[in-house]
Structure 1
Amino acid sequence: MKPLLELEKTLFNVEWKVIKIKRVLDTPITDGPHETPELLDEGIPFLSAESVKKGKLEFNLKRGYISQEDHEKYIKKCKPQRDDIFMIKSGATTGNVAMVETDEEFSIWSPLALIRADKEKILPKYLYYFIGSTAFKEQVEISWSFGTQQNIGMKVIENLFISVPPLSAQEKLVEYMEIKAVQIDKLIEMKEQEISLLEQQRQSIITEAVTKGLNPNVKMKDSGVEWIGEIPEQWEVVKLGWFISIFGSVEITDGQYKAPLFKVNDLNMDKNKLYLNESNEIADNNIKPISGNKILIPKRGAAIFTNKVRVVNVPCYIDSNLMAIVPKKEFRVEYLAYLLWARRLGDIADTSTIPQINNKQINPLKVPLPTIKEQIEIVSSIETHSNQILKLIQSIQLQIEKLKEYRQALIYEAVTGKIDVRDMELD
Structure 2
Amino acid sequence: MKKIAVKYLFNIFSGSTPESGQAFFWDGENNWFTPDDLGKIGNNIYIDESKRKVTEEGIENANLRFSNPFSIIITKRAPIGNLAIVTKTSSCNQGCFLLEQKSNFINIKFYYYFFLIQKNELNALGRGSTFLELNADEMRGYKIPLPSLEQQHKIVDYLDREIAKIDALIEKKTRLIELLDEKKKAVINQAVTKGLNPKVAMKDSGIEWLGEIPVHWNIERLKFLTNKVGSGVTPLGGANIYTDEGILFLRSQNIYNDGLKLIDETYIPEEIHNEMKSSQVMKGDLLLNITGGSIGRCFYYDLDIEANINQHVCIIRVNDKILYRYLHFLFISIVGQYQIDLLQYGGGREAISFENIKNFVITFPKSIEEQKIIINFLDTECSRFDKIKDKVKSAIDLLKEKRTTIISAAINSEINLD
Q: TM-score, normalised by structure 2?
A: 0.83
Picking from 227, 247, 265, the partner of 2:253 is: 265
Picking from 300, 305, 319, the partner of 2:291 is: 300
Q: CA deviation at 1:73?
A: 3.6
Picking from 203, 226, 241, the partner of 1:221 is: 203
Partner deviation per Cα, 1:304-340 (whole Å, 9 max, x = no partner): 2xx5321112442123432222112212111111111
Q: Name 2:37's counterpart in structure 1.
A: 51
Picking from 151, 171, 180, the partner of 2:133 is: 151
- Do structure 1's residue 310 and structure 2's residue 294 form an aligned pair? no
In structure 2, how many angstroms separate the alpha carbons of the residues matched to 1:155 and 1:278? Answer: 33
In structure 2, how many angstroms separate the alpha carbons of the residues matched to 1:90 and 1:65? Answer: 21
Picking from 201, 205, 230, the partner of 1:247 is: 230
In structure 2, how many angstroms separate the alpha carbons of the residues matched to 1:174 and 1:277? Answer: 42
Partner deviation per Cα, 1:341-391 (whole Å, 9 max, x = no partner): 112245543351472233143122222132222221111111111110110
Picking from 382, 404, 410, the partner of 2:406 is: 410
Query: Structure 1 pair 358/127, CA: closer, same or farther in 2 (3 Å)?
Result: same
Query: Structure 1 pair 369/403, CA: closer, same or farther in 2 (3 Å)?
Result: same
Q: CA deviation at 1:267?
A: 3.0
- The alignment-based identity, stated in percent, is 22
Q: CA deviation at 1:231?
A: 1.1
Name structure 2 gaps, 5 residues minimum: none
Partner deviation per Cα, 1:50-88 (whole Å, 9 max, x = no partner): 22122436678x54454x434654796333543121111
- Do structure 1's residue 329 and structure 2's residue 320 form an aligned pair? yes
Q: Name 2:363's counterpart in structure 1.
A: 368
Query: Structure 1 pair 414/70, CA: closer, same or farther in 2 (3 Å)?
Result: farther
In structure 1, how many angstroms separate the alpha carbons of the residues matched to 2:268 and 2:183? Answer: 39
Picking from 28, 31, 36, the partner of 2:12 is: 28
In structure 1, how many angstroms separate the alpha carbons of the residues matched to 2:327 and 2:140? Answer: 54
Q: Name 1:6's counterpart in structure 2.
A: none
Q: Name 1:13's counterpart in structure 2.
A: none
Q: Name 2:108's counterpart in structure 1.
A: 124
In structure 1, how many angstroms separate the alpha carbons of the residues matched to 2:404 and 2:263? Answer: 35
Q: Name 2:170's counterpart in structure 1.
A: 188
Q: Name 2:84's counterpart in structure 1.
A: 98
Name structure 1 gaps, 5 residues minimum: 1-15
Q: Is the 8 A contact 1:276 1:311 kept in 2?
A: no
Query: Structure 1 pair 321/170, CA: closer, same or farther in 2 (3 Å)?
Result: same
Q: CA deviation at 1:212?
A: 1.1
Q: Is the 8 A contact 2:200 2:214 kept in 1?
A: yes
In structure 1, how many angstroms separate the alpha carbons of the residues matched to 2:37 and 2:246? Answer: 41
After TM superposition, the structure 1 = structure 2 runs for residues 65-84 of structure 1, keeping only pairs within 5 Å, are: 65-66=53-54, 68-70=55-57, 73=60, 77-84=64-71
Letter in 2 for 1:207: N
In structure 2, how many angstroms separate the alpha carbons of the residues matched to 1:77 and 1:128? Answer: 23
Letter in 2 for 1:22: K
Query: Structure 1 pair 167/186, CA: closer, same or farther in 2 (3 Å)?
Result: same
In structure 2, how many angstroms separate the alpha carbons of the residues matched to 1:89 and 1:300? Answer: 30
Letter in 2 for 1:79: F
Query: Structure 1 pair 381/236, CA: closer, same or farther in 2 (3 Å)?
Result: same
Query: Structure 1 pair 206/85, CA: closer, same or farther in 2 (3 Å)?
Result: same
SS in 2 for 1:388: helix
Q: Is the 8 A contact 1:74 1:107 kept in 2?
A: no
In structure 2, how many angstroms separate the alpha carbons of the residues matched to 1:385 and 1:321? Answer: 31
Q: Is the 8 A contact 2:47 2:85 kept in 1?
A: no
Q: CA deviation at 1:154?
A: 2.9
Q: Is the 8 A contact 2:80 2:119 kept in 1?
A: no
Q: CA deviation at 1:197?
A: 0.7
Letter in 1 for 2:231: G
- Do structure 1's residue 234 and structure 2's residue 229 form an aligned pair? no
In structure 1, how many angstroms separate the alpha carbons of the residues matched to 2:34 and 2:23? Answer: 13
Q: State which drifts further: 396-405 or 109-118.
A: 109-118
